[in-house]
Amino acid sequence: MATTIYRARQIHTLNPSNPSATHIAVRDGMVLGAGTLEELEPWGEFALDERFADKVLVPGFVEAHAHVMEGATGLMPYLGYFDRPLPDGSIATGVKSYAELESRLRGLDAGMADADAPLLARGFDPIYFPEEQRLTNRWLDRVCPTRPVFLYHASGHLASVNSAMLRRDGITKDTRVAGVGRHPDGELNGELREPPAMALCTSGYRAVMRANGNEAALRSFGAMARNVGITTCTDLAGVLVLNPRAEEMWFRVTGEDDFPVRVAMANIPAMPGAATDFDAAAQRVVELGERATRRLCFPSIKLILDGSIQGWTAMLEPPGYLTGEDHGQLLTVPEQLIDWLRPFHTRGINVHMHCNGNLTQNLAIDTIDRLLREAPWFDHRHTVTHAQLTTHAQLRRMAKLGICANFFANHLWYWGDQHYELTVGPERARQLEPCASALREGVHFSIHSDAGVTPLGQLHTMWCAVNRLTPKGRVLGVEERLTPAQALHAVTLGAAYQLHMDHEIGSLEAGKRADMTVLDADPLTVAPEEIRDIPVWGTVLDGRPQAAACAS
């Protein structure tokens, strides 16, 4: 077996016993050691690779909450507010006004050959335009009167459709499903909140879901992860429990020699509102785990407990929302949650619980507390994911119970101003994603992008947690800022810990996988406001260099 020693300007190992190095030795995808060249020479004959001599190496970024639907960003029209990177390194421009939205929709409509085909687009969010009229079917009907339109919101928790789409799928004012929005006169307004309501729109929502998980999306997902330096990325809405037919494609594509990222799939065992045999689902996860490969593993499952704050569908403790209509939707049955979690907990399967609101965080914490009294597991690492409005009392309970937090740090930038002004107000906006408080209270945590809700990119996510800036220049909670070193830990070893993978990845030390992120500058020494602008050369995955499509 050949040994390669990579030389770098600086290597941050995240190994507290050996924190920095100039060289790292790799053999058969494994780290042999990190140090000076002289310290590594005793491993025997080697090839010295100096391609990274002017670069900075850090452990491969680990994204502990993302979705393969990020790969579908370039597969359908993008109508979000912020510019968006695409798999080939190009940028999709954002939509900054309703006039621009109208122009884009008219252009898309005119460019479609099939007059009956629905127009599907993603990324729009009306919260960025509070001064405008609300986006309803009446507005969409004026722009696209005959073609069915389905606009999938940025959060993934809502959609806006026109009347032609409502008619196409038989949704009427007599439809009685939670989340079907209405005008004050009782007529449908075209807003579909949360999966049970969106699923009524079979020709829209289901088509988007199919695009989110097809082979093209998976390949694009891998490329996008590599482009931003991610070597291990979760798909935190895995489909292989619900859709075994996708199994062959997932193992085949991730098994290709040049597939550029390791995927840690957290299967969703049930969609909200669907009947599920949770014991059978848990056994299915065990069986998938027995088939795990170097590029595809199954350490966790995920359950969705509520909606999104910016969609007013997250469940908040009093005093609730600052403005707007509270559409808070509980997407689980509180009395049954312990029965749903028990089959996974007792099999040693890590559980991630989507909780945007602090009311559902209480439900998650209470349920884990009950489970641990019933079936102790001292290293469970069950995770409250998003955890946006976590209170200090909740953090203290989480620390005592061993519950992890995965904070949605990107919200500070993408919706921070909206949370300050519209959804929860200044005090709670300053406490969003309370990373520093989690450190103080002893809660293990990571930070994430929730891609494709916001773009993949751990440097940007680090930047958010370190600076806590909004587009309007607000600093949301100086006291909750992380240092760059703490943020780097959160996107490497902290994330690996949550996935029960910290023995394999997350730091560069002897015996671990040779996964590295290759940067043009040092995130620990550049000015904090420059972290997100550091160019990414690419990655080293299992010892093999992978250049980014947008590499400098």
Place of tokens 């995240």: 14
275 confidence band (pLDDT: 50, 70, 90): confident
Cα 232 to Cα 214: distance, rounded to the nearest angstrom: 20
Q: What is residue 75's predicted lDDT score, i.e. its pLDDT?
A: 83
Cα 454 to Cα 461: distance, rounded to the nearest angstrom: 10
Q: For the segment 231-255, what is each residue's pLDDT rounded down to a tens digit? A: 999 999 999 998 999 999 999 999 9
Cα 50 to Cα 33: distance, rounded to the nearest angstrom: 17
Q: What is residue 550's predicted lDDT score, i.e. its pLDDT?
A: 61
* Torsion on CA atoms 503, 71, 353, 332, rounded to nearest 10: -150
Which residues fall within 8 angstroms of residue 369, CB to CB, at 6 or more apart?
397, 401
Q: For the segment 397-441, what is each residue's pLDDT rounded down to a tens digit? A: 999 999 999 999 999 999 999 999 999 999 999 999 999 999 999
Q: For the segment 443-495, what is each residue's pLDDT rounded down to a tens digit? A: 999 999 999 999 999 999 999 999 999 999 999 999 999 999 999 999 999 99
Cα 404 to Cα 396: distance, rounded to the nearest angstrom: 11
Q: Which two tokens stand for residue 395?
A: 């953090």
